[in-house]
Amino acid sequence: MSRTVKRAFKYRFHPTPEQAGELARTFGCVRLVYDMALAARSEAWTQRRERVTYHATSAMLTGWKKTDELAFLNDVSCVPLQQALRHLQTAFTNFWAKRAGYPTFKSKRRSRRSAEYTASAFRWRDGRLTLAKMSEPLDIVWSRPLRQGAVPSTVTVSQDPAGRWFVSLLCDDRIEHVPASGAVGVDAGLDSLFTLSTGEKVPNPRHEHRDRDRLARAQRNLARKARGSANRARARLAVARVHARIADRRRDHLHKLTTRLVRENQTIVIEDLTVRNMMANHSLARAISDAAWRQFRTMLGYKADWYGRDLVVVDRWFPSTRRCSACGAIADRMPLTVRSWTCRCGRTHDRDVNAARNILAEGLSVTACGGGVRPQRTHVRTGRPPAKQEPPGATQGTPVR
């Protein structure tokens, strides 16, 4: 059994000087059009309480191209400029739906340099990609082959802070559904990056910690350079390359782990961690950022959707660590220094393995009973049922959609 999904394949490429110049101009025009449209929409709302639609900003773009000051917008492909207006419309839609904050302006130095081309703005022939306004195809490094007969529907070209060029090809891809019947609970941590309910512990590679000395030297070298100088530009590039090396290793490790979990298990249960709030702990913020739990959850979400798996997210207040996976009793306190503990029933638990098993049990109860339904618990000291029951749904997990 297979399923067709939209999948992006990202490759590096090496542009010629002419192509690099054309893409740099396109990036600048995309940023300018986005910022001008955002300013126009914000002004219309604050002054006249008027909502400007995508079609209105598209008409504005036509008018801008006819002016002497913005005539240079005609020198680049019009498709990336129109796509920038569509992205702005999507940002406002998410804002109105309360899924995101108010759109912000793009910075020349800090914003992502990218341009999106639809099918009318590129030519794909015999595995060679040629963008609009270019006479030669891109020199793409094919690190992995595309599926036979795959044709890109959208092409996104970008340049990262380290100066590397990337092209992302959005294609229809067939995902073969591999049968799986297992279920696993996953507990996130720092000593071990993830602990599975099977007892397996995934070591924490600590990618940022391994390159911390190299990063510190590059940042000190950058701090000594004069602002605006060519030496500072080279030093900034050196810092960006260290960050890129760390991010690449982290992403590769998470891709391999999430792919294995999805292929081997039909049901995967994780915790709903509030990483943003946890980052307020300045003693652990750097380690939590290096662990990339949010990136892990994002990858697990779309891969579970590809392969037809069930991803269940347990409520963040569920006492997975303090609860005995054997008898259900809950301990009063469990500081981070306690790595193993013994329950009143006599069972000795590894802190992380016990939490993973409890997460799995709660996730399976959510799947079977709709959440909030689990065996009666007893108090760890009195041995009697708690006097006050928790409200229904207090520990309810929600499947990722």
Is 272 an annotated catalytic residue? no
Q: At what angle do helices 230-264 and 293-307 cross, to 10 degrees?
A: 50
d(CA 350, CA 24): 54
**Which three-class secondary structure state does DSSP give residue 199?**
coil
- The Cα 113–Cα 157 span in angstroms is 8
Q: How far apart are CA 126 and CA 112, in angstroms?
A: 30
Would you tell me the crossing angle of helices 17-48 and 78-96 to the nearest 10 degrees? 40
* Residues paired with residue 398 on neighbouring β-strands, in sequence order: 313
User: Could you give the C-alpha distances from 205 to 112, 253, 266, 291, in angstroms and in order?
Assistant: 27, 9, 27, 9
- Residue 139 annotated to the active site: no
One of 208, 271, 290, 315 is an active-site residue; which one?
271
From the list 22, 208, 315, 352, the catalytic residue is: 352
Q: Alpha helices, DSSP H only, in 49-75?
A: 54-65
DSSP 119-173: GGGEEEETTEEEETT-SS---EE-SSPPPTT---SEEEEEE-TTS-EEEEEEEEE
Angle, CA of 226, 231 and 236, to the nearest 5°: 90
Is 271 considered catalytic here? yes
Q: Which of 22, 35, 187, 362 is catalytic?
A: 187
- What SS3 class is residue 280? coil
Catalytic residue positions, numbered: 187, 271, 352
